[in-house]
Structure 1
Amino acid sequence: MSKMDELEAIRKKRLQELQRSLEARQYPAEPVIVTDISFDRFISQYPLTVVDFWAQWCGPCRMLSPIIDQLASELQGRIVFGKLDTDQNPMTAQSLGISSIPTLIVFRQGNLVDRISGALPKHLLLQRLKPFIS
């Protein structure tokens, strides 16, 4: 490989890294508060979203919350996480048949593709989300 080819390969690689970095900055690094009013817009705004259905009084929800915060930061640019308080926003939870919390629902292009119930540990959540991450 000539020096020019090497330089071109380095330039292309760096350009791709910069593009990924720019795309990641357009995605929130923390969970977005979602309401009944903003729900449809939120799930269609990003290619892949995960909505955490929770309530203030729910112990397992409070255990899951820091994990969701970590994943939102670690997966920035690939998944956008949202949090919907089911006590304050019952219509969306009811329309999706949420009967227990915490429940995470994964949406791709606005379509429901997976439902995860319970406060799973981080490694199991990552395992469930991995097939959806491009």
Structure 2
Amino acid sequence: MDEDLEMIRQRKQEALAARIAALRQGVIRVDDLSLADTVREHPLLVVDFSAEWCGPCQRLAPIFEALAAEFAGTVTFATCDIDESHGVASSFGVQVVPTIVFFSHGRAVGRLTGALPADVLRANVTKMFGLSE
């Protein structure tokens, strides 16, 4: 029985450590070289394709950060500067910024464009990934 309790305690500690690490991670930056690996490593991923010069992208950034914290440990949030990463922007057909692409288990399952409010983005994250609200 002590072994069972210890195993349960250890699992809970590992889960808590993973959640804390995810909270610290926030929004990760991806580029031409790292996006494919990031898509493979994170089962539920939301990528914001943006640019520094883009006003709507700048307005979206704090909303994206807040959602990354809210969904930490479940959904990973990443940003990709299209001016620095022409290849992935082109391969995903990004013609407007911001463009948000949702990846589930390695494949793109949806996209949004524009600086959308937090409630719209949150609703889309839960819908795209089948999460409870």
Same fold (TM over 0.5): yes
TM-score range, shorter chain: 0.7 to 0.9
Deviates more, 1:52-61 or 1:26-35: 26-35
Q: Look up the equivalent residue of 2:17 and give its one-letter code.
A: L
Q: Does 1:64 align with 2:26?
A: no
In structure 1, the residue matched to 2:106 is 110
For 2:48 and 2:12, locate their aligned partners in 1 and report how far apart those are by CA, in whole Å. Answer: 30
Q: Distance in 2 between matches of 1:16 and 1:74?
A: 22
Decide which of 19, 30, 34 is 1:24's aligned counterpart: 19
1:21 Cα deviation (Å)? 2.3
Secondary structure at the aligned position of 1:37 is classed as coil
Corresponding residue for 2:37? 41
| Amino-acid identity (%) | 34
* TM-score, structure 1 normalization: 0.83
What secondary structure sits across from 1:82 in the alignment?
Answer: strand
Partner AA of 2:50 in structure 1: W
Between the aligned partners of 2:35 and 2:94, the Cα distance in structure 1 is 15
Distance 1:96 1:30 in 2: 23
Q: How many angstroms apart in 1 are the aligned matches of 2:106 and 2:18?
A: 19
Q: Deviations over 1:41-96 (max 9, x none)?
A: 01111110101000011000000000011111111001111110000101000011
* TM-score relative to the length of structure 2: 0.83
- Counterpart in the other structure of 1:83: 79
Specify every segment of 5 or more residues in structure 1 that has no aligned partner in the other structure, as ranges. 1-11
Aligned residues: 125
